[in-house]
Amino acid sequence: MDVDEAEHEEKWARKRAKTYASRRRKNQIIRKMERQLAQEVCQLRADTKYSQCELQNVRSSLEWLISWRIKNCVNQTPMWCDGIETLTIAGSGGIIFHLDAQAIIGPESDVTNLYRCQLKGSFVLSRNLKEIKQYCLRLTGNDHVYVLSKNR
């Protein structure tokens, strides 16, 4: 690694440390991920015969939301979500959605130590369909239970 790469890596490590230390900054990122997920779900909602690409966009947005949201639940070791598999999502009432999936999570300190969790939950979109008003997602696996929720 040359000097420029080392400086660049050090800069990003400092920025990452500041972000993780700031609950306010993490919450800003979480709100951004919630809006992104709401946008992707609205596209599914508009098209009853959605493509695998659209479903993949929802998976990706959900993965990022879980990755950031789980950091507020776990104080000892920062966790992350490496993927969402077998996602089924069903709407009821136009703004309420229920989901069931397999999530792959693990500690950020050891990206080879991943395990599958059962992900079940629901979320409610705002009336303007631009935000997630509330959600409750439950991750169960490897003798751990994580509950990720938002109530407004």
Residue 74 pLDDT = 66
Distance in angstroms (rounded) separating the CA atoms of residues 25 and 27:
5
Distance in angstroms (rounded) separating the CA atoms of residues 134 and 34:
10
* Residue listed under structure tokens 């490590």: 13
Contact in structure between 45 and 130 (CB atoms under 8 Å): no
Residue 108 pLDDT = 86
**What confidence tens digit (pLDDT) does each residue in 130-147 have?**
999 999 999 999 888 999
26: left (phi over 0), alpha (psi -120 to 50) or beta: alpha
- The structure tokens listed for 43 are 């596209």
Number of domains observed in the structure of the chain:
1
Residue 15 pLDDT = 72
What residue numbers bound the domain in which 119 lies?
A: 3-150
- The structure tokens listed for 67 are 């990755």
Q: What is the pLDDT along the chain (152 residues), one digit of tens a residue?
A: 677 877 877 776 777 677 767 888 889 999 999 999 999 988 876 665 666 778 899 999 999 999 999 987 766 778 899 999 999 988 887 899 999 999 999 988 888 999 999 999 999 999 998 999 999 999 999 888 999 999 86
pTM: 0.83
Distance in angstroms (rounded) separating the CA atoms of residues 114 and 91:
30
Distance in angstroms (rounded) separating the CA atoms of residues 127 and 114:
37
Residue 35 pLDDT = 96
* CA-based max dimension of the chain: 57
Residue 7 pLDDT = 81
Residue 94 pLDDT = 81
